[in-house]
Every structure is written in structure tokens, then in C-alpha cells.
A and B are shown apart, each in its own frame.
Chain A
Amino acid sequence: MTQAFRIENGGLINRDKKLSFKFNGKTYLGYEGDTLASALLANGVHLVGRSFKYHRPRGFFGAGVDEPYAVVQLYRNGETEPNIKATEQELFEGLEAKSVNCWPSVNFDIGAINNFLKIFLPAGFYYKTFMWPKSFWYRIYEPFIRKAAGLGVASTKHDKERYEHKYEYCDLLIAGSGPSGLASAYAAAKNGAKVILAEDKPRFGGSLLTSDVNIGNQSGKDWADGIIAELKTMPNVVVKNRSQIFGYYDHNMLVMSEKVSDHLPSTKKYHPNKRLWYIRAKEVLISSGSIERPIVFGNNDTPGVMLSSAAKEYLKVYGVLVGRKPLIFTNNDSGYETAIEFKKHGVDPFLLDSRKKPESEIIDEAKNLGINIKNSYVVVAAQGYKKVKSADIANISEDKKQLGKIENIQCDCICVSGFWTPTIHLASQSGNKTKFKEEIDAFVPGQSKQNEITLGAANGVFSLEETLKTSFKAGSELSKKITENDNEIAIPNVVEKKSSQHDKFWCVPLPKGKNYKRFLDFQNDVSVSDIEIALREGYRSIEHVKRYTTLGMATDQGKTSNLNGLQLVSEIENKVVPAVGHTTFRPPYTPVSIGAIVGREVGKHSKPSRKSPMHSWHEKNNAVFVDAGVWLRPRYYKRGNENLFEGSKREAKNVRKNVGVCDVTTLGKIDIKGPDAAELLNRVYTNAWLKLPVGKARYGVMLREDGIVMDDGTTTRISENHYHMTTTTAQAANVLSHLEYYLQLVWPELNVNVVSTTEQWAGAAIAGPKSRDLLQKLFPNSDVSNDGLPFMGYMEGDLFGVKARIFRISFSGELAYEVNVESDYGNFMWEKIMEIGEEFNIQPYGTEALSTLRIEMGHVAGSELDGRTIPFDNALEGLVSKKKDFIGKRSLQRSAFIAEDRQRIVGVVPLDKQTSIPEGSHLVKDDKAQLPNPKLGHISASCWSVEYDNPFSLAILKDGKNMIGQKLFAMSPLKNKVIPVEIVSSHYVDPKGERVRS
């Protein structure tokens, strides 16, 4: 197909480079520099999609970010992406796109039947219809809505593209490279300020690309090109195109999405697809321009109806005629500028102006060119289904209430201009309370909230001369404050045509007897009558009207519809627009791909992985790893075809019988030094610490101020004023912060220093009846006998030339030791233990066996210390000092905490001694009781007891103290299990604790 609507010359496209692309399976040609929209229009394609609710045919409405219609599914390099605006997507060789929201095809769409049913689909349709019967929701309504809804399909494949995040700081961040952005950037850059200038489009220049103006004796575009070229050479300036600043957050933090690769057939090697910039700016200049708004008339959603500025942009930037018989419908001078451009390219436009007798230089030029103009005329309705074929037009009375006789004129497009709406989103997001500016019938930013200033059209200033003057000044003054440079810049002379006042007119009345749909929101199919219904039904707040009718809720967020919606509400309510107010502008300004927001933090990069120094040994020895917070820990060491259950059982058994070694590097370690270290411990732990001798370890429990157990662990007195504290793996960071809180804020008089040494020490727990024999061989020069190193003893040793710390502590309940060496020697230590341990049948054991061993001993861990239990609940009340005060002590007097039937840890054994009890199961008295079945407690941890060879669990049970011997049921509706159980002591194995002391 030829590009029949491409004019012979002109435009900013590269005619030397033809590109072929596919739309809905058909191949077309375009040029480098086209958007998908301009290339399709060049080929005369106007039908690109179906509307959301009624499935009415939809074409192109705009030429950029405001586009409500032309949302397509894009296929690029084997990937697919929904929600792409054809007006923003740059053309590349081999591009493929498809229409969305239509089935089976855009030309024949079954959903279009909704269009004939539209009487049944008024505002609030979904709320009213899908509420009943309730049982229909999951089976019928939801699947139906899911299929019908949505603008495209997200890929279910892993995204191969890479997305980057970048943090940047600057003096001035400038959003938009139109005249105000360029002028302010230039002035600031000349003063030596660090400037970032961001432009969402591929081309810099904004309105200067399409306006017929002269700056400094050159065309607006040439002036813009010159400024950009100079800015790019300056080391203090970053100039970015294809970069949308979409959010203005607290303290001048703005976020920008840079499309690095979307305009290329595939992403270059080592390049990201998109880059998300977090920019902290000292000053923000918002020069985001304005968006033309439509005038509302009948069937104004027909393909071929578009914004007059878009028609001009297609012509001037892309050399594309959106029609050969254009009808221009305007209430201001902008429509004339579009008409003049058509005329200059040999096309005769027909122009309707709602104003009676406007006069200006622009209008004079249009008249001189012989353009056919009708004043006090409006378009009543567009005619044509898949494309505009003609328009019903009529004279309109001065008060805009009465229509004259309706005439029909032939046309193939209707270019509409209802004046300009400043793009105030960023200013509003910053917290700026906007104000309504009567002269332009639109909101503009009010008092600056953060360090932001809005310039040019975004501030409601439509004169180029004034825009340049204020923008040069703003750039220069703001940068002067920062850099203290004051380089004067001559403001260039400006030649622009003066325009006249626009008509405060935005909606054409319905002619008698006609019931045209007059759309306000084009993407969500919200028409004038929908708003009327909402108001009739009692919705008053504009926020409620928005949600009930979905006005402005589509992916374009109402960029072309919001203001007309407000006009309608204020008219019906008989209020002024500022009294109605506008809905909140929230980021993002325009859809941002989720990949860009997520960045590199996907898959295993979603969090850091911490590995012990022995990690590679574990890997080499078939460890199956498990996430423990951000640590990777061996869960068990797989032998042959063993599964987790078999492997962990073997490892745990070997600890009970011989000796095992477990990597305990992940335990939190805190080095505590200072003359008041003992006093700190005494206040932090529930038990007494002042008399712990040097060379001894003690088990301690610490509480939060509310009496709940925070963490447990052992702390060892290394020397007079030096302690080594261990915490659980999970609480390590919290415990350090906790100590720092009390030392810095509550008891600053204590002379103590704390520092994390978790990563400085590698730890190995050696546990089992043969552990002393092994230890003696590891430290032949040390006396590790029961007298030399008794239970809870500590000594330093020499591990074949490496300094080691030896603690006689036990989590497994066996005779056990923990050996620490500096991390770099961790692997050396581990290999020595394995090598010398061979004769004692040593086996490494993972976290699963570790759990088994502690559970059957009744030692508590994270699953019992779950932020809901006090010392008593964990049978730790013996560690609570009655004599001294400590953190959280006062809370233990709370009535619930001293209740007679307070929950307490117990052991649970299934009656059949076979069925493992799922963790999280509830303990109940009666398995047949009516729901909700009163819960007496829950299973906190389960294992297969290797001592007794049957399942064993720990539970936190109401009145647990008096429940030993009772028969209950463990119920797990999730696993569909009901297990009769017996409650036993939590100390299932070695209740007297003889082994650890042996």
C-alpha cells in the first residue's frame, strides 16, 4: 500500500529511510521518525480500535500522551506489551501491533452489540447490575467482565529486557523542552547550574515544532535546535529526550522514565529497555505545556474526529494529511492555525467558529488565504460509522442554547479545538493548590508548595514573547541563587501573531428529537448523559462522580476530558467550575511500565543473598539450600535419592548417636564493650547478669517494653569489660537497633559500645555424644574436659595456628560446642572438622535436622517467639528476675499475662504415632463442633522425633500447664486434616538436661 496521505515534502521525518511494519496483520510502509500513528494515518488507516464499553469504532484523537483511543498491543523482538499509545510509539523496522478490545477483529467486533444496548449500560451499570445474585459473581459476572475489560494482554513470559534505576541530583530540573523549558534551561546552564532538561517526546522543542513563529530572526524550530545543540555541549547539563517525568514526590524528589530502547527493533546489547531516574532537584521548573481540549458534540468519537493541534502536528512534523476534506470546528484562534497549514499544503479546509465576530492577525491571515469560514456555527453531529463521512452543522444563537437549521456538509475529518488546558499535573502532585483562571477557562498552579515554579503554557501563559521573557528570568534567577553567577542573556526578539479571546463554549446542545451520544471521556465511553444520570442519582462530589461514571479513570487519566466534565457538572449544579473543583492528580502522569518500576530487583536479585564463608563447601557437598531471611542456609545435605524427610532424619539421628556439625555463621553476633556492659545486659535481659564470671556464657531472654519476648540467645563474657552476644538469625538487625536505641536515647550515661560482628566470625556447632572427642583432637593443646570446659564455659583455642573461640553451648540438647574463627578461616575450620571428625562418623547437618533436634528438646525458637508470647508462654519464667528491673518487666504484671489459664508451650503427639501434624494446625476439644470451633492453641513447630521415631510437635496452648495428658484434636482445614493428639511435656527428650552437662 502506498502512503497516499503523505504530502510530497515537509515534515521532520527521514524520507531516505523507509520502514515496513505490520498492523493487524497487514504490512505498511512508513518513514524513520514516524510514530505508529502518523505512519498509519499516512496510509489512510483511521480505524485502530474499539471503545471500552460500547465497542464503538475508534481512530486517532491526538498526537501524543493525551491520546485516549489508539491504544495497541505491541510486538517487538519476540515480546509483547499492552497499553501502548500508537501516538507515542516510534516506528521501527519490523514493528508489529494489533488493535485491542475487539473480537474477532477491529472491523467486525461482536462487542459492538453493546452499542445498541447502550440504553442498558448507563453510568454505574456495573455497580447496579453485578451486585446480585451474589452467587453469580465468581461464575458469571467476573469472568465476563475480565474477558470484556482491559486494553490488551500482559505477557505471561519472563521479561528478557533489563530495566535500570538511577539516582541523580541537580540544581534545576526542567520538565518539558518547549519554549519555556529551553529558555529557562539555557539561562540556568549559562550560570553554571547543574541542569537536567527532560522531554517526553523524541524531538525537542515542544510547540515550537508546529507553531509559525520567529525567534531571534530564525524559525522557532531552528532556534530550539540551536539551543539544544549548545546545551548538549555543556558539561553541567543533561539533556534527555524520550524521558517522561511522571511523578513529583516529597522534598523535591521527581521520578522520570526514560525509554532507552522502545524506538529500536530490539534493545542493544548491555542497554536497558528503560531507565527510571530518581531525581532530587533543588529547583523544579515545570514547562509541561498545555493540551488542547475538544468541544463536545454528537458522535464526537467517530474516527476522523480529532484535535486540531494533532492534525497540525501530523502535517508539520510527519508530513501527513489526516484528511483531504477537513472540517475545522473551533472556539478560538488555534483552529485557524490548523486551517492555514492545510491551505498551505493545497487542501481546502472548511472552518466553523462558534464565535460571532472574532478579529485577530491569525484570522486575517486565514481570510486572506481564502479559507471558507462560517461564524456562529457549530458541528451538531459527526456522521459516518467507521470514519467521518459528513457533518451536521448549524448556526448557533448568541446564548449558545438554540440551534438553527441543520445542514449536512461533506468532510473526511473534523478537527476540533476547544482551547487549551495547562498541564498542571506535576505542580498539583507537588502539593500546589491550583486556582481557576477565568480568562482561559482552566486551572493553573497557585502558590508553589515545594521548590517548584510553572512556566509558559503550563501556567496558562499562551504568548510566546511573555513565556520566553519569564522563563529566561526564572532560569537565570533560580540558578543565580545556587551558583552565585549572573551571566546576562540577551532575550531574543519574537515575532508571533496575536490571537483573540476564545469563546467560553464547550458543548453543543442536542438538536430537538436527536439523541446523539456526546462523549466526554473517550477511552471509558463516558457521555454527557452518564454524568447527568450520576448527578440525578445524587452524586455531588466530583470525586464520586468520577468513580461512579469512570470519567477520567482510563489510561489517559482524562487528559482531554476532565475539564469538559467539570464544566458539565458545574452547569447542571449551577455552580462555577472552581466551586466544583477538580479530582486529585496522582502520579504517574502517564502509564509507566512495571518493569521500569521494578528495575533490576527481579528473581534472585529481588533481595541480597547472604552466604556464609563455608557456602561453597556446602554447595560442593550437595546441600539443598533454604532462605533464612536473606541468608542462604543448607537445609540438608542430600545423599543419593534422599528427600528432605529422609535426609534430615539421618542427619539428626547422627547427632544423637555420633557427632554432627552445623553452620551457625548466620546467628547474629554483637560485640559489646565498655565498663557498663554488664549493667546494659542486666537491663536488657530478663535474668541477672552482673555476676557472670569472665569465661562463662549465659542464656538470656530479652523483652520488648510491652512484655513480649523479642529474642533469645547466649552472651559470653570474653574479658572484664567485653561481651559477645548472639541473637537469632532473624532478629540480629532489630536487636542491634534495640541496643543502640537504649544506649543513645534512654541511658546515654552508660559507657558501652555495641557493634555487629555477625560477618566477622564464622561459626560451626559441633553436637553429639562424640563432640568432645572430636574437639580434643581439634584443640590438642586445650583442656576441653568437663572440668576444663564445663557446660556454658568459654575458652580460646588454637586451631592448627588459627585463633578460635570455643563456647560450650547447645541448641540440640546434646553435648555440644560452638567454634568461631575469623570469617576468612571459616572454610579452613570446616574442612578440619570434617577431616578429623571422620573417625567419629561426623556428618554435616542442615536447618531441618537443627529444628528436629531443638523441637524434641523443647527449646523455643522463632516459631514460638513469634511476637505474641511472653516468657511464661515459653516456659522461660524461671529466667525472669524478681529482684531487678529490666526492659518490659512492668508489662508482665498485666492481668492477661498473669491469668491462671495463660497459654503455655506443650508437646503434642498424634495418638496413632504416625501422622505428622501440619504446622499452624489449631488444637480443639471437639472435632465435630460447629464452626467457628473454639481454638485452644496452635501447633508452632513439628518434626519427626528421631529419639522416639514418631511425630512430635510443639504447641502454644491455653492453660497448657494443666493440659498435660489431655486428648485433643489438631485440625488443619488447609491440609484437610483432623488428627487426634495427646498433650505431653514440651521437653520430650532428656527432660532433665543431663546430656548437655555430660
Chain B
Amino acid sequence: MLYINCPHCGMRSQNEFSYGGDASVKRPELNKEVSDQEWDNFVYNRKSLRGKHLELWQHISGCRQWIKVERDTATHEIFRTFKADEEVA
């Protein structure tokens, strides 16, 4: 079971969180013309990365904040975690 450092609450077990997918996906702006391809990339197309992956988790049984987690998908190593509005350098 992963041990995730919630930037708001500290180290918590994985069972307090729910997974939210790739954090690098940006929703196209509202009212903006988007091509089918762009929209498909936003809704469906995901890279199934092996290695370092920036992903979203929600601390659903805790502070309910969505956070970003930098995790290795192969080893489960967690490198860093960020608040939702924190820039990932």
C-alpha cells in the first residue's frame, strides 16, 4: 500500500486517496474551437508511461484536496507531491 505525502495533511496511507489519472492533461478552454483530434487527446488518449508519471490523487477520506503526485509507475516510488495550484518544476 502506497504511503503518500499529502501536501496539506502529511504522510497518509493510499486507502485514504482516490486516483485521478494523468495530471499533465489540460482541459481545453471553454467556448474555444477544438479539433476532433485535440478533444480526443483530452478525453481519451493517455500515454501508459513506464517510469516517472505526474498524476492526480484526491485525498478523499482526508482533506478532500486534489493533489499532484510524481510517482514511478513501475516501482511505485513517489518522488514529490504538490498542491493542486503548485507549479511542478
A416 to B14, CA, bound (A): 47
A473 near B: Cβ within 8 Å?
no
Cross-chain contact of A741 among B20, B30, B42 (Cβ < 8 A): B20
- Name A717-776 residues within 8 Å CB distance of B: 737, 740-741, 744-746, 748
**Contact among B18, B39, B85 for A890, CB-based, below 8 A:** B39
Beyond A431-B75, A705-B43, A890-B39, whether A737 also contacts B1 by CB under 8 A is no
Are A748 and B13 in contact (CB-based, < 8 A)? no
Q: Is the CB of B18 within 8 A of A251?
A: no
* B47 within 8 A of partner (CB): no
Which residues of B are found within 8 Å of A890, using beta-carbon distances?
28, 34, 39
Task: Mark A223-251 against chain B: 1 for CB-CB distance below 8 A, else 0.
Answer: 00000000000000000000000000111
- B75 & A748 in contact (Cβ 8 Å cutoff): no
0 or 1 for each of B8-39: is its CB under 8 Å from A? (1 = yes) = 00000100001010000001101100100001
Query: Do B56 and A249 have beta carbons less than 8 Å apart?
Result: no
Residues of B with C-beta under 8 A to A548: none
A746 touches B27 (CB 8 A): yes
Interchain Cβ contacts within 8 Å, total number: 51
Contacts of B56 in A (CB 8 A): 745
Restricting to A868-903, which residues have a CB under 8 Å from any CB of B?
A: 884-885, 890-891
B89: min CB distance to chain A, Å: 18
Contacts of A249 in B (CB 8 A): 1
User: Which A residues touch B42, using CB under 8 A?
Assistant: 705
Looking at the assembled complex, report how far the CB atom of A948 sits from the nearest CB atom of chain B, in whole angstroms: 43
Is A683's CB within 8 Å of the partner chain B? yes
Which residues on A sit within 8 Å (CB–CB) of B75?
A: 431
A958 contacts the other chain (CB 8 A): no
**Residues B84 and A253 in contact, CB atoms below 8 Å apart:** no
Give every chain A residue within 8 A of B28 (Cβ-Cβ).
890
Q: B18, B34, B84: which contacts A744 (Cβ < 8 A)? A: B84
Of the candidates A250, A706, A740, A891, the one whose C-beta lies within 8 Å of that of B1 is A250
Q: Is B46 an interface residue (CB 8 A)?
A: no
Contact A251 B65 (CB under 8 A): no
Query: A745 is contacted by which of B2, B43, B66 (Cβ under 8 Å)?
Result: B66
CB pair B3–A251 under 8 Å, yes or no, is yes
Give Cα A705 to B56, complex, Å. 17
Q: A887-925 toward B: CB 8 Å interface, digit per residue (1/0)?
A: 000110000000000000000000000000000000000
The contact of B31 among A431, A740, A746, A885, by CB within 8 Å, is A885
Docked pose: A698 CA to B66 CA in angstroms: 29
Is there an interface contact between A737 and B43, defined as CB atoms closer than 8 Å?
A: no
Q: Shortest distance in angstroms between B11's beta carbon and chain A's nearest beta carbon? A: 9
A251 touches B60 (CB 8 A): no
* Contact assessment for B66 and A744 in the assembled complex, using a CB-CB cutoff below 8 Å: yes
Known: A280-B13, A745-B66. A891 touches B39 (CB 8 A): yes
Docked complex Cα distance between A683 and B31 (Å): 11
B34 close to A748 (CB less than 8 A): no
Q: A783-827 toward B: CB 8 Å interface, digit per residue (1/0)?
A: 000000000000000000000000000000000000000000000
User: How far is A746 from B58 in the complex, measured between Cα atoms in Å?
Assistant: 14
Count, chain A residues at interface, CB 8 A? 22
Q: Are A280 and B66 in contact (CB under 8 A)?
A: no
| Closest CB in chain A relative to B86 CB, distance in Å | 11
B76 at the interface (CB under 8 A from A): yes
Contact of B43 among A278, A744, A891 (CB under 8 A): A891
Measured CA separation A748–B60 after assembly (Å):
18
Q: Which residue in chain B gives the minimum CB-CB distance to A733?
A: B60
Question: What chain A residues lie within 8 Å of B3 (beta carbons)?
Answer: 250-253, 280
Q: Which of chain A's residues has its CB closest to B83's CB?
A: A744
| A680: min CB distance to chain B, Å | 12
B80: Cβ under 8 A from any A Cβ: no
Q: Which chain B residues border A280 with CB–CB below 8 Å?
A: 3, 13
Of A250, A683, A737, the residue contacting B76 (CB under 8 A) is: A250
Interface string of B46-89 (1 = CB under 8 A from A): 00000000001010100011100000000110100000110000
Residues of B within 8 A of A744 (CB): 65-66, 84-85
- CB neighbours (8 Å) of A741 from chain B are 20, 58, 66
Cα–Cα, bound, A773→B16 (Å): 48
The interface residues of chain B lying within 8 Å CB-to-CB of A884 are 31
Residue of A at shortest CB range from B58? A737
Scoring A residues 840 to 869 as 1 if CB is less than 8 Å from chain B, else 0, what string do you get? 000000000000000000000000000000
Whether A737 pairs with B18 at a CB distance below 8 angstroms is yes
Residues of B near A746 (CB, < 8 A) are 27
Complex CA–CA separation, A534 to B34 (angstroms): 58
Within the assembled complex, what's the spacing in Å between the Cα atoms of A280 and B13?
Answer: 9
> Cβ of B85: which chain A residues have Cβ within 8 Å of it?
744, 748
**Best-surrounded residue of A250, A252, A745, A891 (most CB of chain B within 10 A):** A745
Residues of B within 8 A of A745 (CB): 56, 66, 84
Chain A residues near B76 (CB, 8 Å)? 250-251
Q: Contact at A278–B1, with CB atoms within 8 Å?
A: yes
Name A705's closest neighbour in chain B (CB-CB): B43
Complex CA–CA separation, A250 to B56 (angstroms): 19
- The answer to whether B66 and A885 touch across the interface, beta carbons within 8 angstroms, is no
Establish whether residues B1 and A253, one from each chain, have CB atoms under 8 Å apart when the complex forms: yes
Known contacts A737-B58, A740-B58; A250 and B84 CB within 8 A of each other: no
A204 to chain B, nearest CB (A): 29
A740 to B56, CA, bound (A): 13
Question: Given the complex, which residues of A lie within 8 Å of B34, measured CB to CB?
Answer: 890
A862 to B43, CA, bound (A): 23
Please name the residue on chain B nearest to A249 by beta carbon: B1
A680-699: which have CB < 8 Å to B? 683
Residues of B within 8 A of A748 (CB): 84-85
Q: How far, in angstroms, from A278 to B84 measured CA to CA in the complex?
A: 30
> Using Cβ atoms and an 8 Å threshold, which residues of chain B touch A252?
3
Contacts of B58 in A (CB 8 A): 737, 740-741
Query: What distance in Å separates the Cβ of B83 from its nearest Cβ neighbour in chain A?
Result: 9
Q: B20: which A residues are within 8 A, CB to CB?
A: 741
Q: In the assembly, what is the distance between CA of A253 and CA of B66, in Å?
A: 24
Task: Give the nearest-CB partner of A253 in chain B.
Answer: B1
Chain A residues within 8 Å of B27, by CB: 705, 746
Residues of B within 8 A of A737 (CB): 18, 58, 60
A740 touches B64 (CB 8 A): yes
B interface vs A, CB < 8 Å?
1-3, 13, 18, 20, 27-28, 30-31, 34, 39, 42-44, 56, 58, 60, 64-66, 75-76, 78, 84-85
Known pairs A884-B31, A885-B30; list 9 more (Cβ under 8 Å).
A251-B3, A431-B75, A683-B30, A737-B18, A744-B65, A744-B66, A745-B84, A748-B85, A885-B31
User: Would you list 30 pairs from A and B whose C-beta atoms are within 8 A, ordered by A residue?
Assistant: A249-B1, A250-B76, A251-B2, A251-B3, A251-B76, A251-B78, A252-B3, A278-B1, A280-B3, A280-B13, A705-B27, A705-B42, A705-B43, A706-B44, A740-B58, A740-B64, A741-B20, A741-B58, A741-B66, A744-B84, A744-B85, A745-B84, A748-B85, A884-B31, A885-B30, A885-B31, A890-B28, A890-B34, A890-B39, A891-B43
For the complex of A and B, the 5 pairs showing the least CB-CB separation, nearest first, are A251-B3, A885-B30, A744-B84, A744-B66, A885-B31
Partner-B contacts on A (CB < 8 A): 249-253, 278, 280, 431, 683, 705-706, 737, 740-741, 744-746, 748, 884-885, 890-891
